[in-house]
């Protein structure tokens, strides 16, 4: 059976099951001109959208449908996490080329629904259309956050501690393995591949940080540590000093750099991108309390990687004590050629 045989409405009927994990808030989901739901009272609404284009954001022959479905939703959930929010509703639109097998699309929705179920996000609807060449995916996620807990990029103050909720650089190394056609069937390469194709949105971490008090700004790592912390610096009107030896990198990334002569793991961590963990700044008097609470809640550390300093300073201090200017260039879809 192909998409052509079942048609758009057949396809919608096929994907309709298990789209709602919280039907109580939904007046009308898939099947009308628009979805209708009840927004929550006393909270701020959050909306985010991401577009994933074949050959720009992913290579269809290197990622399974299930992984692509997971990732397409995960990158959006990560943006809600960076605001300290809870994700609630998703709208999913696809432009599907003729050569895309129905099984790949079934896998796509399977991966997406699994992640949506985990975070209790309803898939409320969307649009499907044909495409002349590439598979194109647009996901919009709606969420909310208690007003007093909203995390913006603009709240960092001089003296704040810069923290990261996870290890950095693994995803970019995983992408490199896929580009180079390395067999990723076994560890440690499978872990790096997984970091790239199945990133875990840090929604629970974002909520915890937002509710903890003392967290002044946050962003998720999509373009790369140096680029994304640069957004906080810019929006907050401050500078940032990172400590290279404090940037958390995995053993797998270290092995990757050694085995393939890929240089310093810290550089991969700084410029890699698509890690989808969170960076945050915490006021110095709250930092100990927040780090302890984070470790208790998640069983792993909140990594202190630097500090917020005066505007004009944007640097990373190496193991030898020398400061190197940080570049705000991370992953850039318009200039990157590989």
Using CB under 5 A, list all residues that contact Mg ion: 79, 220, 222
Pairing of strands 239-243, 314-317: parallel
Rounded-to-integer distance, Cα 108 and Cα 15, Å: 10
Q: How far is the CB of 142 from Mg ion (least distance, A)?
A: 16
The smaller minimum CB distance to Mg ion, of residues 50 and 66, is found at 50
The smaller minimum CB distance to Mg ion, of residues 54 and 275, is found at 275
Q: How far is the CB of 14 from Mg ion (least distance, A)?
A: 32
Q: How far is residue 21 from each of residues 29, 96, 211, 261, measured CA to CA in Å?
A: 12, 26, 25, 46
Q: How far is the CB of 65 from Mg ion (least distance, A)?
A: 25
Q: How far is the CB of 140 from Mg ion (least distance, A)?
A: 14
The smaller minimum CB distance to Mg ion, of residues 171 and 222, is found at 222
The smaller minimum CB distance to Mg ion, of residues 75 and 244, is found at 75
Q: How far is the CB of 82 from Mg ion (least distance, A)?
A: 5
Task: Answer whether 171's CB lies under 8 Å from 277's CB.
Answer: no
The smaller minimum CB distance to Mg ion, of residues 35 and 151, is found at 151
Beta bridge partners of 280: 163, 218
Q: How far is the CB of 78 from Mg ion (least distance, A)?
A: 6
The smaller minimum CB distance to Mg ion, of residues 144 and 222, is found at 222
Rounded-to-integer distance, Cα 218 and Cα 248, Å: 18
């Amino acid at each position: 059976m192909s998409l052509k045989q079942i048609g758009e409405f057949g396809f919608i009927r096929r994907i309709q099951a298990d789209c709602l994990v919280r039907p109580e808030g939904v007046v009308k989901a898939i099947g009308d001109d628009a979805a209708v739901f009840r927004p929550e009272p006393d909270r701020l609404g959050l909306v985010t959208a991401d577009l994933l284009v074949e050959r720009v954001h992913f290579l269809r022959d290197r990622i399974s449908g299930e992984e692509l479905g997971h990732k397409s939703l995960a990158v959006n959930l990560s943006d809600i996490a960076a605001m300290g929010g809870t994700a609630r509703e998703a709208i999913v639109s696809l432009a599907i080329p003729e050569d895309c097998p129905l099984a790949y699309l079934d896998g796509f929705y399977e991966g997406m629904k699994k992640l949506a179920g985990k975070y209790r996000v309803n898939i409320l609807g969307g649009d499907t259309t044909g495409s002349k060449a590439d598979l194109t995916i647009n996901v919009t996620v709606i969420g909310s956050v208690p007003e007093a807990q909203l995390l913006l990029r603009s709240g960092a103050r001089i003296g704040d501690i810069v923290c990261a909720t996870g290890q950095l650089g693994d995803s970019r190394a995983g992408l490199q393995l896929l580009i180079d056609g390395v067999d990723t069937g076994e560890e440690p390469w499978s872990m790096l591949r997984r970091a790239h194709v199945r990133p875990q949105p840090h929604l629970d971490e974002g909520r915890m940080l937002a509710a903890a008090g003392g967290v002044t700004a946050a962003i998720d790592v999509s373009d790369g540590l140096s680029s994304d912390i640069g957004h906080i610096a810019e929006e907050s009107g401050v500078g940032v000093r990172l400590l290279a030896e404090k940037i958390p990198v995995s053993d797998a990334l270290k092995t990757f750099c050694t085995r393939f002569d890929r240089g310093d793991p810290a550089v991969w961590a700084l410029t890699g991108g698509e890690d989808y963990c969170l960076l945050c700044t915490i006021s110095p008097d709250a930092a100990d309390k927040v780090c302890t609470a984070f470790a208790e809640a998640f069983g792993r550390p909140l990594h202190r990687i630097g500090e917020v300093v005066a505007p004009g300073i944007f640097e990373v201090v190496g193991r030898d004590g020398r400061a190197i200017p940080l570049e705000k260039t991370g992953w850039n879809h318009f200039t990157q050629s590989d």
